Structure 1
Amino acid sequence: MDARREETVDVDQLLLVLVSGLASGAVYGLMGLGLVIIYRATDVVNFALASLATVGLYAALSLHDSGLPLLLAAVVAIIVTAVVGLGARETVLRPLAQGDLLAALVMTIGVSLIAESVISTIWDDQPRLFPSLVEGSVSIGGGAAIPTQSLLTIAVAAVAMGLVAYLFGRTTIGSAMRAVAESADTAQILGLGSQRIARIAWALGLGLAALAAFLYAPRSGLMPAVLSAPLFRAFAGIFLGGLTSMYGAVVGGLTVGVLDNLAATYVSAGYRDTFVFSFTILVLLIRPQGLFGERTFQRV
């Protein structure tokens, strides 16, 4: 009887770890998807993505504290993130010479540092609690209590990813964004404005990051650099899945989330990142373009 009870406890714990890992991976996958969309449309690796999403979170929390419903605050977070990010792109990144990818990379890091400084100046840098969209837990299996917020995170992320897949697979804008990703010159010949498409891609990528941040903040709290760790895990996910693959970004993010939680639970919390990044490096040594990526050549 004791052995059976112990086995049930082990199964329940594994179920909790897997669901928690999928919830974390859904956040990393959304952020990674935003990074890939922006990279494919503009060739810019946007290190400012997380900090800009954090600006949106602080703005949303301020309005929520003033009485705005939490769901509307989520919409505010997405809009503020997209607007601020597009403003940064138009004023800082677009004036750069075309193809100057290193300068663009450095600029996004600078924008990230500026965003964190602005947050500290306006809202201070003290940790804050962030409200959950839902409370409580759901009992599954032998009594494992899974937080409802984790299940909601997985569901919302799945819907968002499905909508992105529909956008790119079934709409004119999605086809245009794919054309720009393949060749900006070809897109121009076909009558597709590359700058307009780039703005849409930035807005979409930043909006996905803001949604990911809104789902992540209730369990992490809120402070200026709260999304730094998820950002680097999202990078691990997109390199694991393939830098140019949106499908790979999602699968890579989910994989990183599950591996991260398994390592923290069954190995050591102090080695979770070591385990995840070691696995990613091992995959890249075998397949440099990632699991789903394709070998690409830099545009000239």
Structure 2
Amino acid sequence: MDQLLLVLVSGLASGAVYGLMGLGLVIIYRATDVVNFALASLSVVGLYAALTLYDSGLPLLPAALAAIAVTVGVGLTVRETVIRPLAHGELLSALVMTMGISLIAESVISTVWDDQPRLFPSLVEGSVSLGGAAIPTQSLLTIAVAAVAMALVAYLFGRTTIGSAMRAVAESAHTAQILGIGSQRIARIAWALGLGLAALAAFLYAPRAGLVPTVLSAPLFRAFAGIFLGGLTSMYGAVIGGLTVGVLDNLAASYVSGGYRDTFVFSFTILVLLIRPQGLFGVRTFQRV
């Protein structure tokens, strides 16, 4: 029982990271129709910048804020110079562009900082006893920080003017423009928010996994599994899907085999999509062809 509790908490901590990344992906997709494959690699750039500042004597929390700022700044620069000039509706081109940007970012990281594994400091040390299980404090902090971030995003979209504008653009950019809502301004805000959430997820994940240029590759694909499981257009679905993937991933690794964890997770996702193609919380759409 104690082992199960430890596995579930660890799974929720992993799922919180996948949920934050998935939420960032969905926010960007809904506002701009761009599936941003570069989101993870750009977040890693922020991590390396934060580690450099930390090694130079900056406390870890300001370094975390710097990581988010670097990720958002680089990401917005990429959007304005590479993604925005594409013609409207060039979704495949934008997708390929973000894949290319991801590879370029990883190459830049390897050139500037090298590709040797590094340790990344934890925000907190130690563990908390729950029952007979020693739960790492970092895992509990990850769950708490992710929960607060998700709650703030829900408040932003549900209770603020800018959130209403972002939802309007997500429903119809043309209609939003008629109503006087600047779609480009909203797109920049969506990219900044999505990248910031991904950078936060990266900062929570790196102490557990260490730091290499590709450290977020696996979490990115698990985040995609989560958003397809929950529904590509649903922010709540991205969070719940990410948490589900995290728990299933850890259960499979602990009670089946570590080598089959992704097989188990993606097989479950495929099974759900066969039954409900729009995901658990997505809205089914029909298109005349």
The answer to whether the aligner puts 1:35 opposite 2:29 as a matched pair is no
| Alpha-carbon distance in structure 2 between the residues aligned to 1:25 and 1:157 | 10
Of 6, 13, 16 in structure 1, the residue corresponding to residue 6 of structure 2 is 16
Residues 5-56 of structure 1: CA deviation (Å, up to 9, x unaligned): xxxxxx0000000000000000000000000000000000000000000000
2:58 alignment counterpart:
68
Matched, 1:181 2:179: no
Counterpart Cα distance in 2 of 1:209 and 1:194? 22
Q: Distance in 1 between matches of 2:24 and 2:286?
A: 21
1:192 alignment partner, SS class: coil
Matched, 1:138 2:119: no
Alignment of 1:145-294 (within 5 A): 145-294=134-283
Which residue among 88, 111, 114 is the counterpart of 2:101? 111
Task: Quote the Cα distance in structure 2 between the aligned partners of 1:37 and 1:159.
Answer: 17
Moved over 2 A (4+): none
CA change 1:140–1:284 in 2 (3 A) is same
Find the counterpart in structure 1 of residue 79 from structure 2. Answer: 89
Q: How far is the alpha carbon of 1:180 from its aligned partner?
A: 0.2
Cα distance in 2 for residues equivalent to 1:297 and 1:226: 38
CA distances 1:64-111 after superposition (whole Å, capped 9, x unpaired): 000111000110011000000000011111111100100000000000
Mapped partners of 2:252, 2:203: distance in 1: 25
Cα shift at 1:297: 6.0
Q: TM-score, normalised by structure 1?
A: 0.95
Amino acid at match of 1:73: A
Alignment of 1:39-54 (within 5 A): 39-54=29-44
- Count of aligned positions: 287
Distance 1:265 1:36 in 2: 30
Deviation string for 1:266-295 (max 9, x for gaps)?
Answer: 000000000000000000000000000012
List gaps (5 residues or longer) in structure 1: 1-10
Q: Deviations over 1:88-139 (max 9, x none)?
A: 0111111111001000000000000000011011000000000000000000
Distance 1:15 1:285 in 2: 31
Residue identity in the other structure for 1:203: A
Q: Which has the larger radius of gyration?
A: 1
Alpha-carbon displacement from aligned partner over 1:150-192 (angstroms, at most 9, x marks no partner): 0000000000000000000000000000000000011101111
Seen in structure 2, the aligned counterparts of structure 1 residues 292 and 111 have a Cα distance that, compared at 3 Å, is same
Q: Distance in 1 between matches of 2:271 and 2:30?
A: 25
The residue identity in structure 2 corresponding to 1:161 is M
Question: Counterpart of 1:3?
Answer: none
CA–CA distance in 1 between the matches of 2:138 and 2:286? 42
CA displacement at 1:296 relative to structure 2: 3.4
Counterpart-to-counterpart distance in 1, 2:33 and 2:276: 21
Paired with 1:263 and 1:277, the residues of 2 have a C-alpha distance of: 11
Indicate the SS of the match to 1:204.
helix
Letter paired with 1:115: A
Kindly report the root-mean-square deviation, in angstroms, between the aligned alpha carbons of the 2 structures: 0.7
Counterpart Cα distance in 2 of 1:280 and 1:102:
24
